[in-house]
Amino acid sequence: MGYAIDNGDDALGYRCIAAPILNLRGEPIAAISISAPTSRLSPDKFEQIGKDLISVCSTLKKKIPSRF
């Protein structure tokens, strides 16, 4: 999918969606995640948020110096 979901696995009552920031070689060097209480982040929002995170991470990839 290009993103990961923590559906209350780490902390009960919370969900997290994360996507990697890749360097120019396609290697992960960082990540961005969004966490929220389960009451505010329903599973029907996972796909759209995941796609949005991928888009942001892709934009950031273009701004990372080539040495990383």
Domain boundaries, the chain: 4-61
Is 66 a residue whose pLDDT tops 80? no
Q: What is the pTM of this model?
A: 0.85
Average pLDDT of 36-65? Answer: 93
Average pLDDT of 16-43? Answer: 94
The burial of 4, by beta-carbon neighbours within 10 Å (0-12 exposed, 13-18 middle, 19 or more buried), is given as middle
